[in-house]
Amino acid sequence: RRGAWLGGYRGGLAWAGALRLNVHPLCMVLAMVFLQGDALLAFRVFRTEPKRSAKALHALLHGAALLVAIVGVAAVFEAHSAGGVAHAYSLHAWCGLAVLVLFTLQWLLGLGLFVFPGAGWALRGRYRPLHVFGGVALLALSVATSLLGITEMLLFHIRDTYSKFPAEGVLANTLGLLLVAFGLLVGYIVTREDWRRPPLPEELALSMDFKTLTEAESPGGSQ
């Protein structure tokens, strides 16, 4: 599946002439869809490995995504400067910058609370659901931003022929749907309850305590 997708994507790389601008979609899709998606899967794929290893892989993949994304963003800023075009005027750019800022924040908070040993169990337990929701939401918004980028690229380059179903347009649309499918697949795997990593004994003990503490006020919680 990934091979087929990269094949499709490589073809997609031939879209435009300006080489520097082509670095942008490659880096961004690689970083924000692929590496980010794979990072989310780390806890599922390696659910029987030690949690430390899965966590390290998760943090490293996200770190790599951030680095590649910075290269990708630099490429488009460079290209805009060279072409005398204003920066960050489009909805695609606004969404992309929002993703980048929130992603960096989420990564730093994750490092600070989950990787460095300082944070206590209670704080980690309270931040965890927000971190998980944020991660899935950022992946979804990254896919959406990629679709916006594809649409912008097509309307800048083949606006007048797009409605005649040219090969380039059909290929790009298909690529867009494949990105959506990848996002849905990762989202489904990550949110499915039965595929959750079994909690460590100490986490279980904590969540029991927490449940006892909160059960008096709120009736929900148990699934």
Interacting residues toward a copy of itself by CB under 8 A: 47, 85-86, 89-92, 94-95, 98, 129, 133, 137, 140-141, 143-144, 147-148, 150-152, 154-156, 159, 162-165, 169, 172-173, 176-177, 180, 184, 187-188, 191-199, 204, 207, 214, 218-223
Nearer of residues 10 and 47 to a copy of itself, judged by Cβ = 47
How is residue 49 annotated by DSSP? Answer: S
What SS3 state is found at 181? Answer: helix
Nearer of residues 119 and 203 to a copy of itself, judged by Cβ = 203
The phi, psi pair for 92, rounded to 5°, reads -55, -45
Name the minimum Å distance from CB 21 to a copy of itself. Answer: 14
Nearer of residues 72 and 149 to a copy of itself, judged by Cβ = 149
Name the minimum Å distance from CB 118 to a copy of itself. Answer: 25
* Contact partners, residue 173, CB within 8 Å, separation at least 6: 150
Nearer of residues 60 and 155 to a copy of itself, judged by Cβ = 155
Nearer of residues 60 and 82 to a copy of itself, judged by Cβ = 82
C-alpha of 73 from chain center: 15
d(CA 42, CA 19): 33
Name the minimum Å distance from CB 79 to a copy of itself. Answer: 13
Answer for the pair 69, 62: CB distance below 8 angstroms, yes or no. no
Name the minimum Å distance from CB 60 to a copy of itself. Answer: 25
Name the minimum Å distance from CB 69 to a copy of itself. Answer: 19
Within the chain, residue ranges assigned H as helices are: 2-12, 19-28, 36-45, 51-83, 91-110, 121-157, 167-191, 201-215
